[in-house]
Amino acid sequence: MSRSSVDTMKLAVQRHPHVEPTAAEVAAKPYYQMQATSPDGSAVLILGNLDGQRQAWYGTHQVVVFLEHGRIVQTAGLHQNLDGLQLPANDPFARGLQTLTAPVDYSYAKDWSPGYRYGVHVDARLIPAGTEQISILGTTHQVLRVDERINAPAAHDRAINHYWVDPQDGFIWKSEQQVAPGLILQLLQLRPYREKQG
């Protein structure tokens, strides 16, 4: 996508302390849209680029959230950023969280900035937590909730991420994910880009 297209899309994004978009407002914009909420407020991000499984979602003030399989793998423009993940070959997100029938343990590494905290080892446990209903723009979705307990001993950091997953194809409709210690982003798919499965 050209830089001019990206700049045009950035201008289309609304940024308020707490954005509560309506179904009509989402439908009026011809973009894939996702709401991101942090302690600083919320914004509607728009999908600006696809590179295989990697999605780049753009907001105002040069904020970018990169997703792979519904998980945040990098951010830019926040007070603290996730600079990258080093994931295992058997990444359970790539298989699809809807396939979990029991807790799964795995490990990976995170890079955070500022502070040059690179290669921070993280132990994670994914736990199926049952079925729930969530409502997005007035539509109810039957989903599976998966909790992810993460522990980074070297950073003295523990957190719990939550994912609300489509039981059919593993699409993550809603999530609460740690970007960096003390910074959680809630993501809500308003007009989702549904990747072709299989």
Instruction: Express each pLDDT in 41-98 by its tens digit.
Output: 889 999 999 999 999 999 988 899 999 999 999 999 999 999 999 999 999 999 999 9
The phi, psi pair for 128, rounded to 5°, reads -65, 130
Q: Write out pLDDT tens, residues 106-141.
A: 999 999 999 889 999 999 999 999 999 999 999 999
pLDDT (0 to 100) of residue 193: 93
Residue with tokens 């728009």: 46
Q: How many CA atoms lie within 13 A of 139 on its CB side?
A: 12
pLDDT (0 to 100) of residue 14: 40
| Interval 14-38 mean pLDDT | 81
Query: Minimum mean pLDDT among 14-18, 125-129, 187-191: which range?
Result: 14-18
pLDDT (0 to 100) of residue 163: 98
| Interval 20-45 mean pLDDT | 89
Q: Vertex 86, ends 101 and 193: CA angle to 5°?
A: 65
120 vs 125: CA distance, rounded Å: 16
Q: Please, is 185 exposed, middle or buried when counting C-beta atoms within 10 Å of its C-beta (0-12, 13-18, 19+)? A: buried
List the structure tokens of 8.
């045009």
Q: Are 19 and 36 in contact (CB under 8 A)?
A: no
List the structure tokens of 5.
């297209």
pLDDT (0 to 100) of residue 22: 86
List the structure tokens of 1.
């996508």
Q: Give residues with Cβ within 8 angstroms of 52, minimum separation 6.
A: none
pLDDT (0 to 100) of residue 196: 53
If one counts every other C-beta atom within 10 angstroms of the C-beta of residue 73, the result is 19
List the structure tokens of 167.
């039981």
